[in-house]
């Protein structure tokens, strides 16, 4: 049942206490104070490590506590809603760990696992300042030198680069193409790490530009076979994109919660700001955006267990929609808070709102830029036109009470190879949904609009801006299809703590997502959005996370 998804997160909430308490070192005000000082969340990270939080993404074979990505998603959201810096402070090694799981030797995996179990970090060095997302142009080079090698060049924006104990690094060993790159696992003892790199978001989390000047490297430091590192790194980033949605959702949950608290207390004459027509519409749209992002992330976190082969498309589409929807949530909240959205040291959450906006901006780009993310799957879309009838797989992926198969990172692929579980065969599934939605004609109309839009997607290759525009439109339609499938597979469950089978949240999410797919202001579909606000207000009153699987939150 849903309680299984929320158990770990609920226990963490009890441990961390009321986030709204100004004296709580793990609360909102403390996060704002750390941000003002650009301070690493040492005390917060320590209590999370004591609770085993830092082990949650590690497999049991590494001494970790990982069970499934949907459970990890809710756990990480609960920590990130208090301070997003909890994620990089304790889990930034997920990319390096995934790469090592894919092609590291047993000794290298044991070495990394030992570092991570004790709360240390393994850095991931892929990007270079001169080349950005053009990974094939990367120039850091590893050349043979006697029985070993020498490493030369500079890696850019290495997370926890100032404190990591080991480093997974991708370097050029060939002349051209994806097969020109190999991986190393380096000991960072004695490495010149340069000055810490300051960022506007996630202040206090150290990044580093790591320079190598003919650094001697042992042949034993090579990971896997020569020429396979870039493929492995790209596969690993699919996992990171899914988990990054937890950070985005945590930020949005707090932003909307603080804004609702303010709007309920602030009065214009005799009327609460929350009850004025314009602000109520804006907060309804923000609620619809957040509920849609939540559904998309939950579905993706389950789907990676069921069809990891398809995550070169699914994971990237989910990342795009969640990041953009959360950006919209924050913008609408900021409009409601007005001057209080820009105050430092006072206002909702002790002046936290500005930190939330800056942190969300960093999450959007920390693993890849939004444009590079769209490019990564845009070329695959014409091959996904054929519907696939994988009913059993869809039922497992979307039913929150269905047992998931074990996660197998070896099944990740660089292309979806013509299959797409979310949108493929949706028309067939929607026929049965229409019958159950007969009492909600507005939702039926939105389902029909979704099917028409999917049927109208181009099936021939496009280029340039048209290709990227298609990728963005597909991402929003993919998200709408995920919401429909999630509703259908769980209509026997009390999603959002509400009545089982209620289509209200579905109508709000579909209206929002279809407007975004058309490049339109969601205000044009605002007639379905009020149901989302009512859902969120009920969860707020019950002290629960704004989610289909609503974690109970610690409160006074």
Q: Which residues are 207's β-sheet partners?
A: 159, 197
Which has the minimum average pLDDT: 79-88, 361-370, 543-552? 361-370
* In a shared domain, residues 358 and 243: yes
Strand, coil or helix: 367? coil
pLDDT at 345: 81
* In a shared domain, residues 354 and 407: yes
* In a shared domain, residues 463 and 388: yes
pLDDT average, residue stretch 520-524: 93
Q: Which residues are 208's β-sheet partners?
A: 158
Q: pLDDT at residue 221 above 60?
A: yes
B/e letters for 410-438, b = 16+ CB within 10 Å, e = fewer, are eebbeebeebbbbbbbbeebbeebeeebe
pLDDT at 366: 84
Q: Tell me how far apart the alpha carbons of residues 509 and 527 are, in angstroms, rounded to a whole number.
A: 12
381 vs 274, more confident = 274
What is the DSSP code (8-state) at residue 544?
B
Please write the tens of the pLDDT for every residue from 369-394.
899 999 999 988 887 755 455 778 88
Q: Is residue 551 part of a domain?
A: no
372 vs 538, more confident = 538
Q: Is residue 420 part of a domain?
A: yes
Q: Which residue has the tokens 């304790």?
A: 90
349-363, 418-432, 532-546, range with greatest mean pLDDT: 532-546
pTM: 0.96
* In a shared domain, residues 97 and 133: no
Strand, coil or helix: 338? helix
Write out the residue range of the structural domain in which residue 76 sits: 2-114
Q: Tell me how far apart the alpha carbons of residues 315 and 300 are, in angstroms, rounded to a whole number.
A: 7
Alpha carbon distance, N-terminus to C-terminus of the chain? 27
CA distances from 493 to 269, 432, 501 (A): 41, 18, 7
pLDDT average, residue stretch 519-545: 95
- CATH number assigned to the domain comprising residue 360: 1.20.140.10
* Whether the Cβ atoms of residue 319 and residue 246 lie closer than 8 Å to each other: no
Q: Is residue 546 part of a domain?
A: no
Which has the minimum average pLDDT: 290-299, 336-345, 530-539? 336-345
pLDDT at 16: 98
Please write the tens of the pLDDT for every residue from 158-182.
999 999 999 999 999 999 999 999 9
Q: Which residues are 168's β-sheet partners?
A: 124, 185
* In a shared domain, residues 16 and 35: yes
Q: Which residues are 154's β-sheet partners?
A: 211
Q: Is residue 552 part of a domain?
A: no
* In a shared domain, residues 439 and 475: yes
Domain final residue, candidates 114, 145, 177: 114
What is the DSSP code (8-state) at residue 375?
H
Residue-averaged pLDDT of the chain: 94
- β pairing state of 207-217 and 181-187: unpaired
Domain final residue, candidates 207, 227, 247: 227
* In a shared domain, residues 129 and 76: no
User: In the chain, how many domains are there?
Assistant: 3
* In a shared domain, residues 285 and 362: yes
Longest dimension (CA), the chain: 82
Q: Which of 437, 35, 424, 517 is nearest to 251 (CA)?
A: 35
Domain final residue, candidates 186, 209, 227: 227
* In a shared domain, residues 252 and 217: no
Please write the tens of the pLDDT for every residue from 447-478.
999 999 999 998 888 889 999 999 999 999 99
* Whether the Cβ atoms of residue 316 and residue 300 lie closer than 8 Å to each other: no
* In a shared domain, residues 271 and 346: yes
Q: Is residue 130 part of a domain?
A: yes
- CATH number assigned to the domain comprising residue 157: 2.40.110.10
Q: Is residue 549 part of a domain?
A: no
pLDDT average, residue stretch 356-379: 91
CB-neighbour burial class of residue 456 (10 A; exposed 0-12, middle 13-18, buried 19+) = exposed
* In a shared domain, residues 415 and 271: yes
* In a shared domain, residues 428 and 464: yes
- CATH number assigned to the domain comprising residue 52: 1.10.540.10
* Percent share of the chain, pLDDT over 70: 99
Beta strand ranges found along 19-100 (DSSP E): none
Q: Is residue 28 part of a domain?
A: yes
Structure tokens at 19: 């986030």
* Whether the Cβ atoms of residue 514 and residue 506 lie closer than 8 Å to each other: no
B/e letters for 7-27, b = 16+ CB within 10 Å, e = fewer, are ebbbebbeebbbbbbeebbbb
């Amino acid at each position: 049942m849903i309680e299984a998804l929320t158990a770990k997160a609920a226990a963490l909430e009890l441990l961390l206490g009321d986030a709204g308490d100004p004296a709580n070192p793990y609360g909102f005000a403390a996060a704002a104070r750390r941000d003002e000082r650009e301070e690493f969340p040492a005390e917060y990270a320590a209590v999370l490590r004591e609770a085993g939080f830092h082990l949650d993404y590690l497999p049991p074979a590494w001494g970790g506590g990982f069970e499934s990505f949907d459970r990890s998603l809710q756990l990480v959201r609960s920590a990130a809603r208090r301070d997003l810096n909890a994620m990089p402070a304790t889990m930034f090694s997920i990319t390096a760990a995934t790469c090592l799981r894919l092609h590291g030797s047993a000794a290298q995996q044991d070495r990394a696992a030992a570092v991570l179990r004790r709360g240390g970090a393994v850095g991931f060095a892929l990007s270079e300042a001169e080349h950005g997302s053009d990974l094939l142009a990367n120039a850091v080079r590893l050349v043979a030198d006697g029985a070993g090698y020498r490493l030369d060049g500079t890696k850019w924006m290495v997370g926890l680069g100032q404190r990591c104990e080991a480093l997974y690094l991708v370097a050029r060993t060939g002349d051209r193409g994806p097969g020109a790159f190999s991986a190393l696992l380096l000991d960072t003892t004695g490495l010149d790490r340069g000055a810490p790199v300051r960022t506007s978001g996630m202040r206090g989390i150290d990044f580093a530009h790591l320079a190598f000047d003919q650094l001697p490297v042992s042949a034993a430091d090579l990971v896997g076979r020569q020429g396979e590192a870039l493929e492995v790194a790209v596969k690993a980033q699919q996992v990171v994109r899914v988990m990054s949605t937890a950070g985005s959702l945590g930020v949005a949950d707090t932003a909307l919660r603080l804004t609702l608290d303010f709007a309920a207390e602030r009065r214009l004459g005799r009327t609460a700001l929350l009850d004025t027509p314009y602000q109520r519409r804006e907060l309804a749209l923000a609620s619809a955006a957040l509920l849609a992002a939540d559904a998309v992330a939950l579905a993706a976190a389950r789907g990676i267990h069921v069809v990891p082969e398809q995550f070169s498309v699914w994971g990237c589409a989910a990342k795009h929609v969640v990041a953009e929807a959360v950006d919209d949530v924050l913008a609408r909240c900021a409009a409601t808070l007005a001057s209080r959205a820009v105050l430092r040291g006072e206002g909702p959450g002790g002046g936290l709102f500005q930190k939330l906006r800056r942190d969300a901006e960093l999450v959007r780009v920390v693993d890849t830029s939004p444009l590079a993310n769209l490019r990564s799957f845009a070329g695959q879309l014409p091959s996904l036109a054929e519907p696939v009838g994988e009913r059993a797989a869809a039922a497992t992926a979307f039913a929150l009470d269905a047992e998931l198969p074990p996660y197998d990172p070896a099944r990740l692929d660089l292309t979806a190879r013509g299959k797409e579980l979310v949108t493929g065969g949706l028309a067939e599934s929607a026929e049965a949904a229409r019958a159950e939605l007969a009492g909600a004609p507005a939702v039926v109309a939105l389902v029909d609009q979704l099917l028409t839009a999917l049927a109208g997607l181009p099936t021939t290759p496009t280029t340039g801006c048209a290709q990227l525009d298609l990728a963005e439109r597909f991402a929003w339609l993919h998200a709408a299809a995920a919401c429909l499938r999630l509703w259908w597979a769980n209509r026997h469950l009390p999603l959002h703590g509400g009545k089982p089978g209620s289509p209200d949240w579905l109508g709000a999410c579909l209206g929002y997502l279809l407007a975004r797919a058309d490049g339109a202001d969601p205000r044009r579909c605002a007639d379905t959005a009020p149901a989302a606000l009512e859902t969120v207000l009920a969860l707020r009153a019950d002290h629960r996370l704004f989610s289909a699987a609503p974690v109970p939150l610690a409160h006074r």
